[in-house]
Amino acid sequence: MQDQDFKQQDWRRFISSLGENPDRPGLLETPHRVEKAWKHWTSGYQQNPAEVLKVFEDGAEQYNELIVVKRIPVYSHCEHHLAPFFGTAAIGYLPNGKIVGLSKLTRLVDCFARRLQVQERLTTQIADALMEYLEPKAVGVVISCRHMCMESRGIQTAGEETITSALLGELQPNLALRTEFLTLVREK
């Protein structure tokens, strides 16, 4: 309880440092709401990617083509400014006798996105986790996001997207497989 009160006092001091009155009626509940929001936005620190990914051998014995899930929502916060960045991810992999529950790919994105991040690290963390825990022949991850640290401050250009990718395993040397993955990701 004392720790919780201390956190709320920190948020009250923050509100005061902005030149606002934390005792103003509209701000009375703000410290509690902000604390609750940040616990949600950073809940990825309490998640283990190995536990997020449920791997199946049944159904994958004969499957040897790419599996791609795209338009996965990404919501994260930049570690430099604590500003939001958001967009979508596409994940593909070439099974090696095992598959993963499709919803687990979205959960894996959330696991890493709900941490203070840079988009480049987020992209490689997702790809590396899939390679480690699923052990596929190939993994591809493409993330496209808008960054509020650029849009609402700094250069202040609305609508710019940053695209990052990680191509691991057979996607690196195999031009045909890489082209197929990138074509599937781009299709509407």
Active-site residue list: 78-81, 119, 147, 149
Query: Phi then psi for 41, rounded to 5 degrees?
Result: -65, -20
Using the structure block, give the residue that is written with the tokens 């052990």. Answer: 135
Q: Do 139 and 92 touch, CB atoms closer than 8 A?
A: yes
For residue 137, the tally of other CB atoms under 10 A from its CB is 18
Place of tokens 């790419």: 66
Q: How far apart are CA 104 and CA 114, in angstroms?
A: 15
Q: Where are the alpha helices (DSSP H) in 71-147?
A: 102-113, 119-134
> Structure tokens of 1?
């309880």
Beta-strand (E) ranges in the chain? Answer: 55-56, 67-78, 84-94, 99-100, 116-117, 138-147, 162-169
Strand partners, 92: 68, 140
Report the distance separating Cα 160 and Cα 114, nearest Å. Answer: 22
